[in-house]
Amino acid sequence: SQQGEEDPQALSIQEGENATMNCSYKTSINNLQWYRQNSGRGLVHLILIRSNEREKHSGRLRVTLDTSKKSSSLLITASRAADTASYFCATLKGAGNMLTFGGGTRLMVKP
């Protein structure tokens, strides 16, 4: 299966609630990144966490990385309807610059 698998595949929450998405991967990584994609659009880079980091914040986003479990989570706090999108994790291995993307989590935030 793919390096970088998100769960859940789909998530529906009410505005104001927190949204948590998880990503698991199989091999050692250099860093892990989260991207957002609005329907029918390109991906937008959200946040990057290096393999020697455990937690990172950016605005309402909080990313954790557990290299022993080969997993990461993306938390969006106080969600808004505008957060509705698909969210992808991507891993960068030690050699080269190629990212491997997971299948994504489709988040719907209801107003």
- List of residues contacting other proteins (CB under 8 A): 2, 4, 30-31, 33, 35, 40-45, 48, 88, 90, 92, 97-104, 106
Q: Can you tell me the distance from the alpha carbon of 11 to that of 58, in angstroms, rounded to the nearest whole number? A: 21
What's the N-to-C CA distance of the chain in angstroms?
Answer: 35
Residue whose CB is less far from other proteins, 33 or 79: 33
CB of 80 to other proteins, least distance (A): 22
Q: Which two structure tokens, joined as six digits, stand for 105?
A: 């989590």
CB of 49 closer than 8 Å to CB of 72:
yes
Residue whose CB is less far from other proteins, 44 or 78: 44
CB of 99 to other proteins, least distance (A): 6
Residue whose CB is less far from other proteins, 7 or 15: 7
Residue whose CB is less far from other proteins, 8 or 16: 8
CB of 85 to other proteins, least distance (A): 13
CB of 39 to other proteins, least distance (A): 10
Q: Give me the DSSP letters along 70-108.
A: TEEEEEE-S--GGG-EEEEEEEE-SSSS-EEE---EEEE
